[in-house]
Amino acid sequence: MRFNQLIILVSTLILSIGCAREVAIDQPASEAANPSPSAEVTASTDPDTFAPEPAAKSGTFVAGEAPTEGIAQIVAKDGERYLELNQAFKTSDQGPDLFVILHRSDDVLGSTQPPAYPLQEQDYVILGPLKSTTGAQRYPVPEDVNLEDYKSAVIWCRQFNATFGVAKFDS
């Protein structure tokens, strides 16, 4: 029994230490991740490049493995769909390999196990690497993604399959 507890403790520590490594600030996104060309798209971090639009879906971030706050919303502009993180968005800068994803569950944290809240590959679509741990950002949603299938926006550490924060869509 004690051996099992020791294994769980060691695994948790390794995961926590791995997700706490600092990401190099000036490291290009292409070096930070090996994106899959079919599932990922680029993101814009310049808040001046987009104007607020009525949200089709929106939700407020709650913490998973890391403190995460702000609002995520799906908007449409000029026939394109985007996931936008508002100016109040903030998450931990201590994670490597952070991505923005859409998830099928409306209870990501409740349907996964703490402390990492690991995800199953068939349950999400990657929108792109997280460009900044703070502030307004916009991520194009691929045309082949049916938004009715996705109930949450997630900040996710791909390297350690750890969920930093989740915004459940209200509408």
Task: Supply the mean pLDDT for the chain.
Answer: 79
CB 166 within 8 A of CB 153: yes
Report whether pLDDT(51) > 70: no
Of the pLDDT bands very low, low, confident and very high (cuts 50, 70, 90), residue 154 is very high
Report whether pLDDT(55) > 90: no
Three-state SS at 166: strand
Please choose, from the candidates 64, 67, 161, 168, the residue with its C-alpha nearest in 3D space to the C-alpha of residue 109: 64
Please choose, from the candidates 140, 136, 129, the residue with its C-alpha nearest in 3D space to the C-alpha of residue 48: 136
Residue bearing the bigger pLDDT, 126 or 27: 126
The pair phi, psi for residue 126, each rounded to 5°, is -85, 130
Instruction: State which H helix or E strand residue 2 sits in.
Output: helix 2-19
Residues 67-80 have pLDDT tens digits of 999 999 999 999 99
Of the pLDDT bands very low, low, confident and very high (cuts 50, 70, 90), residue 28 is very low
What is the percent of the chain with per-residue pLDDT over 90, rounded to a whole number? 58
CB 70 within 8 A of CB 94: no
What's residue 13's pLDDT? Answer: 43
Quote the pTM value.
0.69
